[in-house]
Structure 1
């Protein structure tokens, strides 16, 4: 059997996701007849039927389900390889660090200052992303290394180096009745909502049938908020938030108070990078960051 072509996999994924040849052709910017011929040729190459077709319905066969599961990460890997190659071939090389703004444990300025002294150092380009977007940026080839919280949901193909563990606090409106208490427990936050809309008394875990619903002040809050929006909503009493202690130190606000939550778990920040990376610049950054973090942790 000949090797599969990227084009064939891309065509198949479009049809498998749309389950409609017309919509898939429109998505791909091509006519339907050549798309149908390409799928038939793919099935011929593999020697299996991937799709069940009727005049009204398209569905995946068991073989088609397996190919869809494996084809999507394969296509992502090809696209990431292209991005990395283009980046590596730039006239002025650099190192791309994906991170969420302010989530660096207060270490980033010291890390970058020390890194510039490394012989293998390259200019660092910060790729600022939202919550949970560091890992996709790394896997998709948009970043060379990522600063992110661990543990990771999926660390396959990655090396990970923990840097810093710090407590999380709760940020409340200064007018919230809980603001009068110096220490809280997660259960005390029942009825309050986090920026992503999940109940605060579950520490961001999915709600259950017995979990208290969101506060009337926090009807359908946006899922993606920047720091200024988060603080504005906290001041209004619409939400609460669990920032790391380093973020709380850097952002004192008159309408916001920070309180210790005794049973709220800490956050651990780490660097992650592809296991197959052979970049001296990435190795130098990891080495520098580890040294800076260890120094900062000393009493």
Structure 2
């Protein structure tokens, strides 16, 4: 099979995202004719049509949609290999952990204390990022490990260790009609305005009356306190709730899990040490108690990072 070059994937992603050869060429800093020729050559190379071109529009074919997804993954993998090789070649090794604000279920301090006692530990940098940014950072090599929330974060291509399982609550304004209820169901939230999260129709501008995408917990709480949103969140959010918002249990909402995630086939002993520390901290906090809904762990935890 004639494998495409990284340059060709970069060209295709630009055209597929812009759906316009002129804008894609401008974005890439090149002229349009050679870009058009490169895409045509790519289609010949792989033997399928990726784009439907008319005088007025450029659209992805079904094959093009698949190829866009896989091309992004491939380019991320190339970037990740460079960044990880650069970190591995440093004289002062360091591990980078990505998390959204309060995305650790209160376990981070305990995890870091245990991790620093491990013989395989190295210096660790914690990056607090926006909601939904942890997975891209793992995929493109900016982070070695991340705290994610299942089932909301996409863990495809990642190894994970569940730390704690949580029920969910509805966060509402203290003045909201549901604020005084002892418990709610998802049906009670019918008709309420829910948040737009990163990744929700990223390419579609918000319509009139539609809230902006929520990037962090402070922004979310402000919108909830103003009565503009109702949010469904893990129950650990109670610890950070403002006085003007109320968290009401949701009886039929599926549970969520805080997991620690890292790229598949990682062989780093420092990563394995952090995974072990995470599992031990969760157990010490009672998250792994029998019947609590947390996944079972055994003596092999953390070894997947060395497999």
For the superposition of Structure 1 and Structure 2, which TM-score range results when normalised by the shorter chain?
A: 0.7 to 0.9
> How do residues 1-299 of structure 1 correspond to structure 2 at under 5 angstroms?
3-18=3-18, 20-39=20-39, 42=42, 67-68=67-68, 70-151=70-151, 154-196=154-196, 219-248=209-238, 250-297=239-286, 298=289
Contact 2:168 2:233 in 1 (8 A): yes
Contact 1:145 1:282 in 2 (8 A): yes
Cα gap change, 1:231 to 1:39, in 2 (>3 Å)? closer
Contact 1:172 1:179 in 2 (8 A): yes
Name which of structure 1's ranges 73-82 and 117-126 shifts more when overlaid on structure 2: 73-82
Cα gap change, 1:40 to 1:169, in 2 (>3 Å)? closer
SS in 2 for 1:242: strand
SS in 1 for 2:125: strand
- Counterpart in 1 of 2:304? none
Distance in 1 between residues matched to 2:246 and 2:56, nearest whole Å: 59
Measure how far apart 1:113 and its partner are. Answer: 1.1
SS in 2 for 1:180: coil
Contact 1:103 1:247 in 2 (8 A): no
Which has the greater radius of gyration? 1
SS in 2 for 1:247: helix
SS in 1 for 2:260: strand
Distance in 2 between residues matched to 1:59 and 1:252, nearest whole Å: 45
Measure how far apart 1:46 and its partner are. Answer: 5.5
- Counterpart in 2 of 1:211? none
1:119-156: CA deviations, max 9, x gaps?
A: 11122212222333222221121211111112366543
Contact 1:168 1:267 in 2 (8 A): yes
Measure how far apart 1:296 and its partner are. Answer: 1.0
Cα gap change, 1:265 to 1:157, in 2 (>3 Å)? closer
Cα gap change, 1:84 to 1:179, in 2 (>3 Å)? same
Contact 2:185 2:253 in 1 (8 A): yes
Measure how far apart 1:32 and its partner are. Answer: 3.1
Q: How many residues align?
A: 280
- Counterpart in 2 of 1:210? none
Contact 1:130 1:224 in 2 (8 A): no
- Counterpart in 1 of 2:296? none
- Counterpart in 2 of 1:201? none
5+ residue gaps, structure 2, are 202-207, 291-307
Cα gap change, 1:295 to 1:63, in 2 (>3 Å)? closer
Distance in 1 between residues matched to 2:242 and 2:63, nearest whole Å: 57
5+ residue gaps, structure 1, are 198-204, 207-217
